[in-house]
Structure 1
Amino acid sequence: MYVHIGGESMVRMHDIVAIMDIQSANSSLIMEQFMKDNDNGIVDLCQSNCKSIVITDFKVYLSPLSSATLKKRSDKMTVPLLK
């Protein structure tokens, strides 16, 4: 299954490692270093205002959609396990 993360971009749910709020990420020294280390693999999907960071196995995306919206979209794609 794929999740639309903004612009014309979609990523496979299986490839998503983390979805973070941009404000939380900006206040973290570890995330600041992570972003510097992965500068070549960052894809900016924002026209003006970035709201979240989507980290995948292959790239890091700056998304104009909020982390709450992305979570809701990914939850809709999740199939509950049968008991």
Structure 2
Amino acid sequence: MLIHLGGDVVIQNKDVVAILDYSKRSLDKSIAAFLDHYEQQGKVVWITENVSKSIIITDHLVYVSPISSFTLNRRRLSEDQERGEH
């Protein structure tokens, strides 16, 4: 199943390792260091430059999305339930 991350970006549900909240106020130093590390490697995809609400980690890339982590997790769970997974 596919998950729309915003803009023109769609990824496979099975590729998602984690979905985290992205907020400048709550951005943990270790998460900021993680993003910096992957950005230096060219593996961070900023879906939009305006608003960032979530971080989606996959095996190969890290996406920063304008869609909230709550909404993205809800989409993932609804797709799992449609397939009969829990």
Which runs of 5 or more structure 2 residues have no equivalent in the other structure?
A: none
Look up the SS of the partner of 2:11 in the other structure.
Answer: strand
**Distance of aligned partners of 1:55 and 1:24 in 2 relative to their CA distance in 1, 3 Å threshold:** farther
User: Which amino acid is the alignment partner of residue 50 of structure 2?
Assistant: S
- Whether the 8 Å CA contact 2:20–2:54 is kept in 1: the answer is yes
- Whether the 8 Å CA contact 2:23–2:52 is kept in 1: the answer is no
Distance 1:61 1:25 in 2: 19
- Tell me the residue number matched to 1:66: 68
Identity of aligned residues (%): 32
Q: 1:50 aligns with which of 49, 52, 56?
A: 52
Runs of 4+ in 1 over 4 A off after TM superposition: none
- Tell me the residue number matched to 1:80: 84
Q: Does 1:11 align with 2:18?
A: no
For these two proteins, the number of residue pairs brought into alignment is 82
Offset of 1:72 from its aligned partner? 1.2
Which runs of 5 or more structure 1 residues have no equivalent in the other structure?
A: none
Distance 2:75 2:65 in 1: 14
- Whether the 8 Å CA contact 1:43–1:62 is kept in 2: the answer is yes
TM-score (ref. length: structure 1): 0.87
Look up the SS of the partner of 1:20 in the other structure.
Answer: strand
| 1:10-29 pair list within 5 angstroms | 10-23=10-23, 26-29=26-29
- Tell me the residue number matched to 2:32: 32
**Distance of aligned partners of 1:6 and 1:38 in 2 relative to their CA distance in 1, 3 Å threshold:** same
TM-score (ref. length: structure 2): 0.84
